[in-house]
Structure 1
Amino acid sequence: MKAGIHPDYRKVVFMDINTGFKFITGSTMKTNETVEWEDGTTYPLIKVEISSDSHPFYTGRQKHAAADGRVERFNKKYGLK
């Protein structure tokens, strides 16, 4: 590998602002906020709006709309018979 061309990865805490779920991973993102982790170490904090803890695909709270209901709503809205 060439020296000096790879980004500087560091441990960062990502926090889901909807659920408060936190996890540590390597990242190159920059932030001014920090948080103290359970082990007493202070890490940079990056807030995200959605994570695996709140995303409907992972939580099973996904909405399933019936296809026939969508067609009926479309026809009602645009006056097609």
Structure 2
Amino acid sequence: MKTDIHPQYQNVVFLDTGTGFKFMGGSTMSSEETVEWEDGNTYPLIKVEISSDSHPFYTGKQKLADAGGRIDKFKKKYNLD
């Protein structure tokens, strides 16, 4: 097996941009942005649009607002009003 071809696996902090919920996990992703975590250490910050805090499957309800009127555009396009 070739050496030094795999990305480095590290702890990162994920931020749900819709709710502000943060959680730590392992990932091969990296980021220029960093954040100080509860343990006092600094970790790369990865922004995600949806997480278990905002996804309707996990929450049982819709938390996200209609971003940019997408539903209205769809209804208007297909004359569903």
TM-score, structure 2 normalization:
0.68
Show the counterpart of 2:46.
46
2:4 match: secondary structure: coil
1:7, distance to aligned residue in structure 2 (A)? 2.5
1:2, distance to aligned residue in structure 2 (A)? 5.9
Please give the per-residue CA displacement for 1:40-68, whole angstroms capped at 9, x wherever unaligned: 11000001010000000000015xxxxxx
Q: How many residues align?
A: 64
Structure number with greater Rg is 1
Q: Find the aligned partners of 1:2 and 1:24 in 2 and give their Cα distance.
A: 30
1:24 counterpart = 2:30: no
Please give the per-residue CA displacement for 1:4-59, whole angstroms capped at 9, x wherever unaligned: 34321010000101111111111111211000001111000001010000000000
TM-score, structure 1 normalization:
0.68
What stretches of structure 2 of length at least 5 have no aligned partner?
63-78
Percent identity between matched residues is: 75
1:57 counterpart = 2:49: no
Show the counterpart of 1:33.
33
1:45 match: secondary structure: strand
Q: Find the aligned partners of 1:30 and 1:49 in 2 and give their Cα distance.
A: 17
